[in-house]
């Protein structure tokens, strides 16, 4: 003992540091006392992939075109609320754009612009 802490001066005095060391020791002993099965069970209980997916699904919004997570659902709702307050009724095309990531939105806009200018005779 002592050799490890020598580089960190004053840290040993810090109660939070001491608590951290204590917690790590307890956690290490606890984990070492568990069998692989128990450990696996614990890990599964703490966070399953399904939980993660549900959290992602709940918090993040997926691009409807490429499937990339690009913003939060909260942000989308904020935009929708802001627009429904300023504009009465939604332009369906605009509404679709909200559900696209910036990359897909740009591509979509370019395509629509190209499509729209095709019909114009200059
Ligand atoms: Zn996209």
Contact 62, 68 (CB under 8 A): yes
Where exactly are the structural domains of the chain?
Answer: 10-46, 53-118
How many other CB atoms are found less than 10 A from the CB of residue 101? 19
Q: Ligand 1 center to residue 64 CA distance, Å?
A: 7
Where are the strands (E) in the chain, listed by range?
Answer: 60-62, 69-72
Q: Ligand 1 center to residue 105 CA distance, Å?
A: 7
pLDDT of residue 66: 95
Q: Is the dihedral of CA 57, 58, 63, 64 positive or negative?
A: positive
Confidence check: pLDDT of 105 > 50: yes
Q: Which among 116, 119, 72, 117 has a CA at the least distance from the CA of 93?
A: 116
For the stretch 32-91, pLDDT in tens is 777 777 777 766 666 677 776 777 777 888 899 999 888 888 888 888 888 777 665 556
Q: Ligand 1 center to residue 89 CA distance, Å?
A: 25
Query: What is the average pLDDT across 15-30?
Result: 75
Q: Ligand 1 center to residue 115 CA distance, Å?
A: 20
Q: Ligand 1 center to residue 34 CA distance, Å?
A: 44
């Amino acid at each position: 003992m002592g050799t490890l802490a020598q580089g960190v001066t004053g840290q040993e005095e810090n109660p939070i540091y001491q608590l951290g060391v204590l917690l790590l020791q307890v956690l290490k002993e606890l984990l070492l006392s568990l069998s692989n099965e128990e450990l696996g069970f614990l890990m599964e209980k703490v966070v399953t992939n399904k939980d993660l997916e549900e959290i992602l699904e709940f918090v993040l919004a997926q691009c409807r075109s490429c499937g990339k997570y690009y913003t939060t659902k909260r942000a989308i709702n904020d935009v929708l609320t802001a627009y429904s307050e300023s504009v009465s009724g939604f332009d369906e095309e605009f509404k679709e754009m909200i559900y696209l990531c910036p990359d897909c939105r740009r591509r979509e806009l370019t395509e629509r612009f190209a499509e729209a200018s095709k019909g114009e005779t200059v």
